[in-house]
Amino acid sequence: MTDTTSYVPPAVWQPAPSGGAFASINRPVAGPTHDKELPIGKHPLQLYSLGTPNGQKVTIMLEELLALGHAGAEYDAWLIRIQEGEQFSSGFVDVNPNSKIPALLDRSGEQPVRVFESGAILLYLAEKFGAFLPKDPAARTETLNWLFWQMASAPYVGGGFGHFYAYAPEKFEYAINRFAMETKRQLDVLDRRLAGQRYLAGSDYTIADIAVYPWYGGLVQNRLYSAAEFLSAQDYRHVNRWAEDIAARPAVRRGQRVNRIRGDEASQVPERHDASDLD
């Protein structure tokens, strides 16, 4: 380790400028910063999101449901520019008090239902439409095991490895090594699991795969932090096989384009209000 520091934590922490890509929106309190209502479109499901890995989980799920013929899964996808603080509007906070994308509002019933946290949205949609979640108790439990594994593990990849490797204003060897080690351990967990079966919960594609793919598929396919070489991603051959399998699904390709505002222009669909927006 080459990093040295003379920093000694004070008795009581006080906020200080942190720098980095998200410094302008980081704050130690919750709640709205400004009043603004969210837009409402014509479809039963209103999604407020951004094409990050967490956002992609939900748009992939919705496109998969539509591909199965579930017309009730038609949705409006509204862009939330998190680096401009749009997640702190009063309307967004009403849907998700944690001010994180994605957030879903289901207006198909007598009263709107809000759903926040990407894993909760996947589970809600799977139960609502009876798809991508096995009915067999053992298979259902295994699916939920991996869904909640992803929800618990990804903060180490995004908030830890991704932050210090890609976004922090300085490169800190200790922090990068710490989170790279954990990220590689997680990839090894997946690789061992996928060595003996096609998908995470067994032979069927489920919400577990939909949740895990945007993060770990993104890592091994070098779409996340451009870190595949750094992490020796080619070594995780079962994860790579699984990622290639999922990447070939038309609904996955469609879902990854929704609320996307980076990359080549042809892949960007900042908002989706009709299926033709993706054609």
Both 159 and 231 in a single domain?
A: yes
| Position 151 in a domain | yes
Q: Which residues contact 201 (CB under 8 A, 6 or more apart)?
A: 134, 139, 142, 143, 145, 146, 208, 209
Q: pLDDT for 242-251, tens place per residue?
A: 999 999 999 9
CATH of the domain at 156: 1.20.1050.10
Whole-prediction pTM value? 0.96
Both 147 and 188 in a single domain?
A: yes
Handedness of CA 159, 133, 199, 261 (dihedral sign): negative
| Position 12 in a domain | no
**Segments in 195-249 forming alpha helices (H):** 207-212, 218-220, 237-247
Question: What domain count does the chain have?
Answer: 2
| Residue appearing with tokens 């409006």 | 76
Q: pLDDT for 58-94, tens place per residue?
A: 999 999 999 999 999 999 999 999 999 999 999 999 9
Both 142 and 244 in a single domain?
A: yes
Q: pLDDT for 165-209, tens place per residue?
A: 999 999 999 999 999 999 999 999 999 999 999 999 999 999 999
pLDDT recorded at residue 4:
59
Both 233 and 273 in a single domain?
A: no
Both 128 and 263 in a single domain?
A: yes
Both 171 and 197 in a single domain?
A: yes
CATH of the domain at 103: 3.40.30.10
pLDDT recorded at residue 5:
67
Domain that holds residue 158: 137-248
Is the pLDDT reported for residue 143 higher than 90? yes
